[in-house]
Amino acid sequence: MFEGVGTALATPFNEDFSIDFESYKKLIRRQIKGGVDSIIVLGTTGESPVINEYEREKLIETAQETVEGKVKIIIGTGSNDTNKVVKLNAIAVKYKTDAVLIVNPYYNKGTQSSLIQHYQYISERTSLPIILYNVPSRTGMNVLPETAIKINETCKNVVAIKEASGNISQIAHLLAIKNNSFEVISGNDDQTIPIMALGGVGVISVYSNAFPKELKEITTAMQKNELQQAQVLNQKYLKMMSLLFEETSPAPLKFVLNKLGICQNILRLPLAPVSKQTENRLLNELEKYEKY
């Protein structure tokens, strides 16, 4: 259902910190031209914690109008308030999006049991397909493989997980015990190949904001079992993938997107632009790309 490349879209801002919708549309069109399979609106890369309710709806509406049905639209609706997730899902239903991406609750520090109850409660209150999102580096809580399987088995519309734990052993275990109705998607660009080699279906990406065609080449090679070709491409692009996390994402990405002429290098606090040192490292790597 969610194979290939899904781009976790950045949210461009103007100098007054309002949303730059023209640049946002330009970014979406870049994804379509680059051949991605889906876009994720209001994920971590989209700075969702600092987007208000009016802006959320406007971003979703603009994405729908720009995509024109050419790629799937997934909406980030995660929160550490279970009832807020239900309300955000209702907005996604209103705009007839393809799925919702729900990060596990952060800060509250629940248990694996309470995590299962959280997703069961949400699942019962939306008809949309749900993608779990495990990113313990940001949430402080790890969704264990057995927990993900239990959620999938008890929630008929939980169909996939974006796995960004970075723990390949954990992900391999999850892929070994899951059933065929549950998809595993890499949440880290640099782990796309190992996760797909183990049975994952693709990646939800930061890198593809800037370079959709390049990442699509990797996932296509993996889908065709052309491992050597995928490895060659991965080695070529790996340094930039890593540099995009040199400082807190999406700050490095915003710098690169600015150099590509897509949007301004502006973030909303508490995030801020990258340091001069990181700028220089990004520029040096960007020069290796044949064509911006």
Give me the residue label for tokens 């734990």: 165
Strand partners, 158: 130
Residue 148 to residues 33, 100, 136, 202: CA-CA distances in angstroms? 34, 16, 14, 18
Strand partners, 172: none
From the candidates 24, 72, 162, 207, give the one annotated as an active-site residue. Answer: 162
Provide φ and ψ at 98, rounded to 5°.
-85, -25
| Catalytic-residue membership of 84 | no
**CB atoms < 10 A from the CB of 94, how many?**
11
| Catalytic-residue membership of 109 | no
Question: How far is residue 202's CA from residue 216's CA, in Å, rounded to a whole number?
Answer: 10
From the candidates 133, 216, 237, 254, give the one annotated as an active-site residue. Answer: 133
Catalytic residue numbers?
133, 162
